[in-house]
Structures are given as C-alpha cells and as structure tokens.
DNA sequence: GGGGCGAGAGTGGCATGCGACACGTCACCG
DNA sequence: CGGTGACGTGTCGCATGCCACTCTCGCCCC
C-alpha cells in the first residue's frame, strides 16, 4: 500500500529552511551561527543541520570556520559578475537547443509558467513572479537535454536572489520583465532557435546590467553608476553594446 | 583501498580516497557499499565517510539509497555528452579571457604543467600525464577570473576520468595530446586570445570525439563506430565538422 | 592603573548509540 | 509442492557523546 503524504526527509526540510533563511536575509550575510543553535531553532538534532550546511557550503552560500561557527557568505559584486558571465555563456545555447527539442509537456509547462508570470505581474506579486521566472528558465534549461547544465544554472540563481529580488523593481518594472520573457516564448513557439537564443542573451544581459549597476551603486554610494564590466565572453571581440 | 597518509582534516582525506577509488574503478560502477564498511576500510568512523559521500552525491558520482547503501553511479554515454557539451561552451571562452589576464605566477605555472606533461609523455607515464593535464586546464580556468567556472569544469573532469583515463591511449598517443596542449600554450604566450580559444575548442572537441566514439563502441560492441553526436551548441548552425 | 594570562564557555569535527525500514531466508500452511 | 509471512541481518538517517581548539573576559601581578 502506498503512503500518500510521503513526508520529505528531515534533511531535505532543513536544507529548504536554511536556504530560504539565507536567501531572505533572515540569516544575515557575514554573520556567524552555531550548528547547535540552528538545530535547536529548527527543532532537530545537529546532524541533519550539519549535513544540509555541507551542501550549502559546496554551493558557496556558507563556509565552515573551525571552532567558530558557520559563516553566511555575502554575494559580492564579483560574484554577480561570475554568475552572469556563466549565464550568458550557457543560457543562450541552451535555449537554441531547447527550441528544437521541447516536447509537448515542456511546451505546455513553459506556457503555464509564462501565464503565471503575467498574472503575478498584474497582481504586483513580486514573489510569485520571480518564482515562476525561475521555473520558466528551468524548463528551458532542462529541455536542452543537459541535466548538469540545468542544475548548475539553476543553482547560480540563488546567489542572485539574495541581492536582487527585493530591489529589482527599482530599475525595471515587472511588466518589462514579462515582455522579455514573452519575446523568448514567442520565438520558441515560432521555432526560431537563433532568435530565441538571441532574445535570451539580451534578457540575461539586460538583467545583469541592471542588477550590477544597482549593486555597484549600493556599494559605492549613490550617484555612482559608471559600470562597464566585461561580462560577455561569448565570442571574438564582439561589440559589448 | 588505500590507507590514509598523514594529517589534514580527516574529511578531506576521506573525500580524496573515495573519489580516487570511484575514479579508479576500485569501487565498481553500479555496486552498493555500506558507509560502515567503507569507514572500517579507511580506518575512520562513519561520520566523515558519510559527509564525504554527501559531497560526492552532490557531484553526481554516487547516490544514497535509504537502508540499502551507497550506489556508485556509472557514467553513461549521455553523461559524457553532457560533460563535453559544457566544456565546449565554457573552456574556449575561459581561455580567450585567460590569455589577457594571466599573471606571472600563472604563466609560470602553466609552463611548469606543460613541461611535466611532456616529461610524463616521454616516460610513458599515463597517470602523471593526466594529472598535469588536469592542472594545466585548471590554471587556465582560474586565470579566467571566474572561480565558479573553474570549480565546475574541474569537477566535470571526474566523470570523464572514470571511463576515459585508462583507455584513452587506444586512439590517441600521449604525444598527440601534448602537441594539442603545446598549440594552446604557444598561442597564449603569443597573446593570441582568439587562436588560443580556437585551439582549446579543437582540443576539447577532439578529445570528446575520440572518447565518445570509443565508449559508444564499447557499449554497442566492436565495429560500431558510427557516432555523430551534436555536442557543439556554441553558435548558430555552425558546421559541426 | 595597565597589561598579560589563564580558566571557562562555546564550537566544529569525529565517534558512537539507536530506531525504523528493506530485503533475503526459511519454516509453515494450504 | 508452491506460496506466504514472520524473522534476522544489514543499512541509512537522526540523535548524542566526546575531544581539541578558539575566543572572551576577568583576575592577578607588576
């Protein structure tokens, strides 16, 4: 007989809680925490907490400091550059490939995610919006047929969320973001792999520029917007603008 | 299984031992092992073994099966395709970028690694050869300035080593491999970023074709060499040959 | 009063205890 | 003779014990 509620393992729950806490800033970047403390707060023992933290450490979100505690790492400007350089290298080719490989379910799922984004944007629901944004991208990445690529890029987004999600609206409305995704979706539906890849490229680049300019401004103080970082390694001496 | 040498956190040593054992095939792909057993063989307790295995599981080398043991995962043909598709997307741009960013130490280290490769090839020492091959690539990846990229690609190589290292010589001599690296090194030294990127592209593609053809042959039986897999997602409708 | 130092509290890392579950075995029943 | 179910063994997942080390802070000596 099959168990219906199938509760997730403690480890998975702890991992989700900790990841959410780090992303939300509830565990402040740069702060130190003890495994014992976290375990008590979560109502479990040290072991699953430690194991979840090991996974987060591998992803670069935290760092163990022996006999001191677990440090919540901050996402530096350089981290954002790394993440977006990688996304620029990987996502456009993934979309190019996904365009010709999407099956019916994936295509339907992609439409669903986009519809949810539109609805969330209308309702001004930022959280739901970014949640489906992420799933939209994930469907595309998985449709490329390369699971490692999909998992890696999806993991990179955690780094961005920590700095970006709550402030993104300062420079770009939710409707603009929806429009960029609509362009990608339309080109995919039309079977234009090149166009879709290019649209994705522009979307990622646009996001990167806004986020990095914004964060650089936050780091350097208001008024400083001179940011011209060399993100796009894609091709030979391509015009960066 | 190899006994642990000296100091340096038990965890790190266990991780190295287990990784080596998986790569060498000492822990056979598809086989099940208990944490207790592995711990005993390594002369440590279950905890560091379990923690090391968690890291390997995140990398996709093993999988925990509840109340059954730890499964050593096999590297399928599809896995090889994924790995090389990613390397083709990432390594050439990384080299393009590294060419203009190498500092003195890195340049010296690169030369050192290449010299070791030459020497090992002369001595027909396959193991040392591939060890320095890997470090050669790693220096380049790190010189690109993107630590995430470097760590990710370096991790991908584990998957390849497991199937490739002991059989690679069937289709390509050590001298050939050295020659491909020499081309890359020379172009870097000459400051030709485009050329170096192209040379790296050809090197990775060449390696991929040989390895995949070989493994496909092994999977499908001798005589089957018809392999034409779509690895290169780099650009628009590029001629694959 | 100032500076060095030592004891205590707190921590991560490793070892070990314990319970629930999966699977193979074998005796028992139809 | 075949199917079946209970039991024993082995395993992971989680909890807890233990140790060496670090850092803090207050006390003592100068």
Q: What is the domain count for chain A?
A: 2
Q: How far is B177 from chain A (nearest CA, A)?
A: 25
Question: Are A68 and A124 members of one domain?
Answer: no
- Best interface-test mutation with A: which of B46, B84, B93 has the largest number of A CBs within 10 A? B93
Is B55 within 8 Å of A58 when comparing Cβ atoms?
A: yes
* Torsion angles phi and psi, residue B71, rounded to 5: -90, 130
What are the tens digits of pLDDT across the range A142-176? 999 999 999 999 999 988 877 655 555 555 678 88
The answer as to whether B236 is a domain residue is no
Three-state DSSP at B167 gives coil
**Closest residue of B to A233, CA-based?**
B93
Residue pair B95/B200 in contact (Cβ under 8 Å)? The answer is yes
Q: Is pLDDT above 80 for B5?
A: no
* Torsion angles phi and psi, residue A192, rounded to 5: -90, 90
| Cβ contacts of B87 within 8 Å, gap of 6 or more | B153, B156, B204, B208
Q: How far is B122 from chain A (nearest CA, A)?
A: 36
Is B97 within 8 Å of A194 when comparing Cβ atoms?
A: no
What are the tens digits of pLDDT across the range A42-90? 999 999 999 999 999 999 999 999 999 999 999 888 999 999 999 999 9
* Host domain of residue A37: 10-72
Helices (H) and strands (E) in chain A, counts: 9, 3
Question: Are B96 and B67 members of one domain?
Answer: no
| CATH code of the domain containing A175 | 1.20.120.530
Question: Are B197 and B83 members of one domain?
Answer: yes
d(CA A52, CA A42): 12
* Higher pLDDT among residues A116 and B169, named by residue: A116
The answer as to whether A225 is a domain residue is no
Is A148 within 8 Å of B82 when comparing Cβ atoms?
A: yes
- Best interface-test mutation with B: which of A93, A193, A229 has the largest number of B CBs within 10 A? A93
**Residue where one domain finishes, among candidates A22, A37, A72:** A72
The answer as to whether B3 is a domain residue is no
Question: Are A41 and A93 members of one domain?
Answer: no
Question: Are A95 and A145 members of one domain?
Answer: yes
What phi-psi label fits residue A156: left (phi over 0), alpha (psi between -120 and 50 degrees) or beta? alpha
């Amino acid at each position: 007989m099959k168990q219906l509620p199938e509760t997730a393992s403690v480890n998975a729950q702890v991992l989700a809680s900790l990841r959410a806490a780090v992303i939300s800033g509830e565990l402040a970047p740069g702060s130190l925490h003890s495994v014992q403390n976290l375990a008590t707060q979560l109502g479990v023992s040290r072991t699953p907490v430690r194991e979840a933290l090991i996974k987060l450490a591998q992803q670069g979100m935290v760092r163990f400091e022996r006999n001191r505690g677990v440090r919540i790492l901050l996402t530096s400007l350089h981290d954002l550059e790394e993440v977006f350089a990688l996304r620029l290298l990987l996502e456009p080719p993934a979309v190019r490939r996904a365009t010709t490989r999407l099956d019916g379910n994936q295509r339907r799922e992609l439409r669903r995610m986009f519809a949810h984004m539109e609805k969330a944007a209308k309702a001004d629901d930022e959280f739901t919006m970014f949640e489906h944004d992420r799933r939209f991208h994930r469907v595309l990445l998985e449709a490329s047929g390369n699971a490692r690529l999909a998992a890696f890029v999806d993991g990179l987004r955690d780094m961005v969320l920590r700095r970006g999600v709550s402030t993104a609206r300062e420079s770009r409305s939710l409707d603009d973001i929806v429009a960029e995704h609509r362009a990608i979706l339309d080109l995919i539906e039309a079977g234009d792999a090149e166009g879709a890849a290019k649209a994705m490229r522009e979307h990622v680049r646009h996001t990167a520029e806004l986020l990095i300019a914004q964060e650089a401004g936050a780091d350097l103080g208001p008024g400083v917007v001179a940011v011209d970082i060399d993100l796009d390694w894609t091709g030979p001496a391509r015009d960066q603008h």
